[in-house]
C-alpha cells in the first residue's frame, strides 16, 4: 500500500513540478511576437520558395514589417498578395506576372548528338562532360534538374522538351538557378518568347538542330513595334515593347517563337 502511494506521489509530484516550471518559463521567457508580422504572414502564400530573396515567408514578413523590403517581391502570390499587403500597410503596388520560359525547343529527334551520354541522370552532371552530349552547346539537356527544383510541379518533360505550365508557374525562379545551361529565364506572362538559345550562324545552327533559330530576321521585319532584334544570330524579344500580337511566331520559318 505504501509503495502505491509513493508511486502516485512521485509521478504526480514530478508532473506538477515540471508543469509549474514550464508555465513559469512560458511567462518569464516569453518573446512578444509582432502582431503586424503575423498579419503580413497570413497574406503570404506560405510556399517558402525564397523567390523574394528572404528565408521563406516568415523571413519576408519580418522584413516587410521592419520596412526593409518592398511589398511586391512575392512572385507566387502575385498581384493578389501585393494588394492584400497594401491594404494592411497602405500604398499601392503592381506586380507584373512572370513565368518561367525555356529558350530551347529541340525535341530529341531535332537536335543532333555528338556522343551518347550514360552517366548520372542530371543536367549538372551531363554538362560537366564536354558541355553535354548535344551538338548545340546552348541546348536544354533534358534531364530535368529544373523539374526537380520546382516545388509547384509546374514543369514537365514531354518528348525531350521541358514544358512549363503557365497556369501553375508563379515565377519563383528556382528552375532558373537549377539550369546549368541558363536556357530558362523569367519572362512576362502571355508574351511570345524565342524558344532557342543557339548563337551559331544559320547554316551551322541548322546542322546542329532543325529547331534552331537561324537568324533570318523575318521576325524582325514583321514586327510593327520594333520589339524583336536579331543579336548574335539569335532573335531577342524586348518585353517592354512587345504587345503580344504574335505575328512573329506566325512568320518564323523554323517555328522557334512560341507563346
Partner 1 sequence: MTTTIVSILLAGLLTENMVLSKFLGICPFLGTSKKFDTAFSMSLAVTAVMVIATAVTYPLYAFVLLPLNLAYLQTIVFILVIAALVQFLETVLKKYAKPIYESLGIYLPLITTNCAVLGITLLNFTKGYNFFESIINALSAGLGFMLALVIFAGIRQKVDESDIPEGLKGLPITLIAASIVSLSFLGFAGIGG
Q: Could you tell me the smallest distance in angstroms from the CB atom of residue 18 to partner 1?
A: 4
C-alpha distances (whole Å) from 11 to each of 2, 6, 20, 201 are 14, 8, 14, 82
Contacts of 181 (CB under 8 A, 6+ apart): 104, 123, 127, 132, 138, 139, 140, 141, 197
Nearer to partner 1, 15 or 46 (CB): 15
Q: Please state, in angstroms and rounded to a whole number, the distance separating the CA atoms of residues 168 and 157.
A: 15
* By the rule CB under 8 A, 16 interacts with partner 1: no
* By the rule CB under 8 A, 15 interacts with partner 1: yes
Name the H helices within the chain. Answer: 2-28, 35-43, 56-65, 78-89, 107-110, 123-128, 145-149, 174-178, 202-208, 218-222, 247-251
Nearer to partner 1, 97 or 125 (CB): 125
Q: Would you say 256 and 105 are in contact if contact means Cβ atoms under 8 Å apart?
A: yes
Residue range at the interface with partner 1 (CB under 8 A); choices 3-11, 102-110, 156-164, 224-232: 3-11
Nearer to partner 1, 45 or 59 (CB): 59
Q: Would you say 99 and 186 are in contact if contact means Cβ atoms under 8 Å apart?
A: yes
Restricted to residues 154-183, the positions that interact with partner 1 (CB under 8 A) are: none
* By the rule CB under 8 A, 21 interacts with partner 1: yes
Nearer to partner 1, 121 or 232 (CB): 121
Query: Of 66, 112, 120, 243, which one interacts with partner 1 (CB under 8 A)?
Result: 120
Q: Would you say 223 and 248 are in contact if contact means Cβ atoms under 8 Å apart?
A: yes
* By the rule CB under 8 A, 113 interacts with partner 1: no
Query: Of 47, 125, 186, 204, which one interacts with partner 1 (CB under 8 A)?
Result: 125
Nearer to partner 1, 9 or 241 (CB): 9
Q: Please state, in angstroms and rounded to a whole number, the distance separating the CA atoms of residues 3 and 212.
A: 86
Residue range at the interface with partner 1 (CB under 8 A); choices 11-19, 209-217, 230-238, 239-247: 11-19
* By the rule CB under 8 A, 3 interacts with partner 1: yes
Query: Of 19, 46, 182, 253, which one interacts with partner 1 (CB under 8 A)?
Result: 19
* By the rule CB under 8 A, 122 interacts with partner 1: yes
Closest to 256 in 3D by CA, of 221, 207, 219: 219
Nearer to partner 1, 18 or 190 (CB): 18
Contacts of 87 (CB under 8 A, 6+ apart): none
Residues engaged in binding partner 1 (CB under 8 A):
3, 6-7, 10-11, 14-15, 18-19, 21-22, 25-26, 29-31, 120-122, 125, 148
Amino acid at each position: 500500500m505504501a509503495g502505491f502511494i509513493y508511486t502516485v506521489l512521485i509521478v504526480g509530484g514530478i508532473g506538477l513540478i515540471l508543469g509549474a516550471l514550464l508555465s513559469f518559463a512560458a511567462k518569464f521567457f516569453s518573446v512578444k511576437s509582432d502582431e503586424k508580422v503575423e498579419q503580413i504572414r497570413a497574406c503570404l502564400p506560405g510556399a517558402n520558395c525564397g523567390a523574394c530573396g528572404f528565408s521563406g515567408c516568415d523571413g519576408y514578413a519580418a522584413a516587410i514589417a521592419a520596412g526593409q523590403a518592398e511589398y511586391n517581391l512575392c512572385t507566387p502570390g502575385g498581384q493578389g498578395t501585393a494588394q492584400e499587403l497594401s491594404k494592411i500597410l497602405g500604398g499601392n503596388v503592381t506586380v507584373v506576372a512572370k513565368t518561367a520560359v525555356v529558350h530551347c525547343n529541340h525535341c530529341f529527334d531535332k537536335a543532333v548528338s555528338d556522343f551518347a551520354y550514360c552517366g548520372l541522370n542530371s543536367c549538372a552532371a551531363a554538362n560537366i562532360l564536354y558541355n553535354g552530349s548535344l551538338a548545340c552547346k546552348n541546348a536544354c539537356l533534358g534531364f530535368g534538374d529544373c523539374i526537380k527544383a520546382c516545388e509547384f510541379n509546374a514543369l514537365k518533360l514531354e518528348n525531350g522538351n521541358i514544358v512549363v505550365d503557365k497556369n501553375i508557374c508563379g515565377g519563383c525562379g528556382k528552375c532558373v538557378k537549377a539550369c546549368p545551361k541558363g536556357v530558362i529565364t523569367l519572362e512576362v506572362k502571355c508574351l511570345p518568347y524565342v524558344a532557342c538559345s543557339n548563337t551559331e550562324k544559320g547554316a551551322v545552327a541548322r546542322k546542329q538542330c532543325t529547331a534552331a533559330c537561324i537568324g533570318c530576321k523575318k521576325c524582325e521585319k514583321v514586327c510593327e513595334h520594333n520589339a524583336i532584334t536579331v543579336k548574335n544570330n539569335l532573335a531577342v524579344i524586348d518585353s517592354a515593347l512587345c504587345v503580344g500580337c504574335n505575328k512573329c511566331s506566325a512568320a518564323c520559318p523554323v517555328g522557334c517563337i512560341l507563346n
